[in-house]
A = this chain, B = another copy of it.
């Protein structure tokens, strides 16, 4: 399954970059959530994970979820009055652009929170989100400095 392999590579790089270590328990949890077709709460993931490795504790599940969220492989969903749940973010291609109206500079930005809302927004309308385009138009810091000439 290519998407998952790619995700595992991303994770590996993240772990290596941060000087963290690999572990089989973590891998079990990662695979459990990445192969899930639906979002899972921490408890549900914990239950699922235990089927593979009964010795895993829920603290590790939480720690792994946080790790995955940090490297962008999982995102947290919160529905009204519900326990938060987590869903894998696989081959989805997401980023937006920040465009300076003065100098035309274009900067790529990505933001999990924004994505999350977009996905939710689509879902609320019954759509399956496949991709999005987000363009933010404004004045970049450099031009502000030149222009405003009075604030930072």
Contacts and interface: CB of A to CB of B under 8 A. Distances in A.
A100 interface: yes
B122 A130 contact: no
A134 B137 contact: no
B141 A136 contact: no
A31 interface: no
Contacts of A76: 80
A128 B143 CA distance: 10
Interface of A: 69, 76, 78-80, 96, 98, 100-101, 107, 109, 111-114, 117-118, 121-122, 125-141, 144
Given A80-B113, A130-B138, A133-B135, 16 more contacts: A76-B80, A79-B113, A98-B125, A98-B127, A111-B121, A125-B140, A126-B141, A126-B144, A127-B138, A127-B139, A129-B137, A130-B137, A132-B136, A133-B134, A133-B137, A134-B135
